[in-house]
Structure 1
């Protein structure tokens, strides 16, 4: 997924602010979706896997900080820019603690907001690619037999073939065969690539073998 496919979600209760920011971002080539309240955005938040968020701090009912807390509770946090016309250091710290990557006070220049959104979009793209990789690795692991998973677990622990063979009660040559099959199913060209893709996906060697 390219950064051009990342959607920038704008949450602000003021129509004029939403419209002007959406116009600016659209002119800069970003895909944009606006929301009149935090509650409105929360209705679709769990389905947003390819976006970043620009939200006002002070809004009726659910403010920006509470929005971040609820997104974290839903495991639906996005790269977020908090904007406000009434900012202070304490609010900025609270926003950062709850996951905001930037805190910008109004009025802000076009350059400031576009630079910040550029960073958020880059992070959103990286997060999306990492999640896609994790999903691909998990799906590939599901194709492995029990013995192949046991061999992979040994490989990820850094064990040589002879040790893996001894632990499993099979020959080193058989272990080599299983390793080759594992690499083919995982679509890894080298052992280093196999180890890296599982580590990047957060796959634990202990969990693989069980």
Structure 2
């Protein structure tokens, strides 16, 4: 909350880097607000689920959206840092606050769309055994339809693609810094 507040109050701190950090702070704050629900129902009392199907779906959706958003923000910020170090003239003209704000909005839209299938995958289901207990979990439909498998592929791509991009980008940044002539004092 402090990051968001400081950037909001202090206009001179609205650099592109702080815009990314503020947006990631929003994501972190949403995750933090959901944490008590996650801890209570996933660790301490996962059965029965008493909060209904809508809360089940919405809590998993928000969690997935925030996770995807954070990954996309870290990747975009790393690409910006690459431009700043390796292509400073391009960075000066290409990376503006307006463009970064637009990009951040697009990152959130992509994250929300990517997490959208959660509404069809997760739900409250009655457990077998006749005790009337229910649980918030991946539905049988998600498994039988292949939707769960598709989301697993998407989750893996959200890990592997940014990992590859970050590996290349930071390798290029490291190379640029290594080859930079050293100053003599």
Q: Provide the TM-score with structure 2 as the length reference.
A: 0.31
Bigger fraction of residues in strand: 1
Q: Please tell me whether Structure 1 or Structure 2 has the larger radius of gyration of its CA atoms.
A: 1
Q: Larger relative contact order (C-alpha < 8 A, sep ≥ 6)?
A: 2
Bigger fraction of residues in helix: 2
